[in-house]
Amino acid sequence: MIDILNSVIPTALFFSAPLIFTALGGVFSERSGVVNIGLEGLMVMGAFVGVVFNLTFADVFGAWTPWISVLVAAIIGGIFSIIHAVASVSFRAEQVVSGVAINFLALGIGVFLTKQWYDKGQTDMVSQPFSSTNIPVLSHIPVIGKMFFQGVYTSSYVAIILAFVAWYVLYKTSFGLRLRAVGEHPMAADTNGINVTKMRYTAVIISGVLGGIGGSVFALTIAANFSATTIVGQGFMSLAAVIFGKWHPLGAMGAALFFGFAQSLSIVSAGIPYLSNVPQVILLIAPYVLTILALAGFIGRAEAPKANGVPYIKGSR
């Protein structure tokens, strides 16, 4: 049993990290009332920028390259998400449609530039990906040490810590209160002097930053290169995590960990008794089936922020 956990838990953490980052971004955006179907596209952008930066500057930054790549991907992700903010906040576009367009656009730009710069459909493998480490001190704890802290990726723990930071920001600061108010009842928030447009722009940009981080972490830990099929559904799975986690940062993190766990099971299940007989497809579709069940109220009712998806028009009731 311990052996199984030793192989499953690091894999689960490894697969969850990108989902956690992106899902947290989704929580910020949706809590402010902007639906973000574009998470997938933001991850694509992050993966593309992360890989290209890594390939280009690996010689300059050495071992620091993956971290700086993630940082750059975060910045570009934030800038890219402004398109979604402009369309859905200022131009009052249907937010789902704008999100779909973000997904198309990110993939189009990513692959277009890849072909333009590398003359082929996919980039080379990055030379400086994230590598697994043993976390000092903690990895020496008996039993748990081996399970959670040996051969893991630091990015996974950064993601988990960030979820707590996000929870603190959303629930313990006035900024968070304002952000949630704008998503629940923008008119009341506006009456109280909160700038609805500014709050929503900020929230969408945060989601772009986190989506960019999520995509680049995925590319630099799991995929190691960029092509049209690097990000296939991780963004939508993160969106599922947002909803399964009931639009709460810690809930989203838990859901992302769970989905990561399901994915890791589908990969290592062959070596596990009992599970080797379960068809892989069951584990692959589990996150999506569970999300539908959660929405339907079989696993606790998931209630969206009230003004989610509704453009705010001053003076309308």
Partner 1 sequence: MQANNRLFSILVPVISVLLGLIAGAIIMLISGHNPIAGYAALWRGAFGDAYTIGETIRRTTPYILSGLAIAFAFRANLFNIGAEGQVIVGWLAAVWVGLAFDAPMYIHLPLALLAAWVAGALWGFIPGLLKAKLGVHEVIVTIMMNYIALYSTNEIIRSILTNNQTTTEHIPASASLASGYLQSITMFSRMHYGILIALFAAVVMWFLIERTTIGYELKAVGFNPHASRYAGMNVSKNIIWSMVIAGGFGGLAGAMEGLGTYGTITVLASFSNIGFDGIAVALLGANNPFGVIISALLFGALKEGAGEMPTGAGVPTELVDIIIALIIFFVASSYIIRWAITRFKKEGK
Q: Pick between residue 96 and residue 187 the one whose CB is nearest to partner 1.
A: 96
Q: What angle do CA 249, 285, 277 make, to 5 degrees?
A: 120
Strand partners, 133: 152
Listed ranges 1-9, 68-76, 161-169, 287-295: which one lies at the site for partner 1 (CB under 8 A): 287-295
Tell the smallest beta-carbon distance from residue 124 to partner 1 (Å): 18
For residue 108, state whether it binds partner 1 (rule: CB under 8 A).
yes
37 versus 253: smaller Cβ distance to partner 1: 37
Of 143 and 285, which has the nearer Cβ to partner 1?
A: 285
Q: Are 176 and 169 in contact (CB under 8 A)?
A: yes
Which of 12, 24, 49, 111 is close enough to bind partner 1 by CB under 8 A?
111
Report in angstroms how near the CB of residue 232 gets to partner 1 at its nearest.
4
As measured in angstroms, the least distance from the Cβ of 96 to partner 1 is 6
Q: Where are the alpha helices (DSSP H) in the chain?
A: 2-31, 39-61, 65-85, 95-118, 144, 154-172, 174-184, 186-191, 196-218, 234-244, 249-268, 280-295
Q: What mask, x for binding partner 1 by CB under 8 A, covers residues 240 to 279? A: x--x-----------------------------------x
User: Do residues 165 and 21 make contact, with C-beta atoms less than 8 angstroms apart?
Assistant: no
Residues 77-106 touching partner 1, rule: CB under 8 A, are 83, 87, 90-94, 96-98, 100-105
Q: Is 297 exposed, middle or buried (0-12, 13-18, 19+ CB in 10 A)?
A: exposed
CA–CA distances in Å: residue 141 to residues 10, 135, 148, 150, 162: 16, 11, 10, 10, 24
Binder to partner 1 among 239, 241, 253, 257 (CB under 8 A)? 239
Residues that bind partner 1 (rule: CB under 8 A) add up to a total of: 46
Token pair 């700086």: residue? 68
CA 49 – CA 72 distance, rounded (Å) = 7
Tell me the closest approach of the beta carbon of residue 144 to partner 1, in angstroms: 34
CB of 163 to partner 1, least distance (A): 21
Identified binder of partner 1 from the candidate list 3, 56, 64, 112, rule CB under 8 A: 112
**CA distance linking residue 114 with residue 272, whole number of Å:** 40
Spatial separation of the C-alpha atoms in residues 312 and 227, rounded to whole Å: 37
Choosing from 1, 2, 60, 116, the residue that interacts with partner 1 (CB under 8 A) is 116
**Residues between 192 and 221 with contacts to partner 1, criterion CB under 8 A:** none
CB nearer to partner 1: pick between 130 and 201: 201
Closest among 118, 147, 131, 123 to 10, alpha carbons compared: 147
Residues interacting with partner 1, by CB under 8 A?
35, 37, 83, 87, 90-94, 96-98, 100-105, 107-109, 111-112, 115-116, 228-229, 232-233, 236, 239-240, 243, 279-281, 284-285, 288-289, 291-292, 295-297, 304
